[in-house]
Amino acid sequence: MTGFVDPTRERFQLFKDLPRDQPVHMLNLVRLRAEAAYPDGRRATGLEAYRAYGRDSGPVFRRLGGRQVWIGRPDLTLIGPDHERWDIAFIAQYPSGAAFIEMLRDPVYRQAVLHRQAAVEDSRLIRMHPGEPGEEFGEVK
């Protein structure tokens, strides 16, 4: 089974077609490789490589107004495929879809993402429109 690490052109185009002037929450589910897979052969664990990604991309993320609003360590998938095991789950907030796109195009970020590509075995990145909880469980205002 091949994991999902980077968006396809088609999926990125769909992202770009959504409103760019509204706040965005991005749900990140990440499964790390035991051993990072750097093209140049350097050695690191997946966790070490992912931490390098966070360290190097963080300044760009923050400069564009991004912030992490929630993080957790998944323990068990109660409902869903057994093979979808995640090491990291978090929600990143961006002031707009345009800010997210600008981050992806930033030269410093483009260098940092090489660490993410080496670290990640599989992932899900789900764009969400931020909402406020409604009166009932699962209801959004």
The structural domains of the chain, with segments of one domain joined by +, span 22-128
Band (pLDDT 50/70/90 cuts) for residue 118 is: very high
Taking 80 as the threshold, does the pLDDT of residue 6 lie above it? yes
User: How far is the first Cα of the chain from the last one, in angstroms, to the nearest whole number?
Assistant: 39
Taking 90 as the threshold, does the pLDDT of residue 137 lie above it? no
Band (pLDDT 50/70/90 cuts) for residue 141 is: confident
8-state DSSP, 45:
B
User: In this predicted model, what pLDDT tens digit does every residue of 41-65 receive, in sequence order?
Assistant: 999 999 999 999 999 999 999 999 9
Residue 35, pLDDT score: 98
pTM summary value: 0.92
H/E run at residue 12:
helix 9-17
Please tell me the class of the 22-128 domain. alpha beta
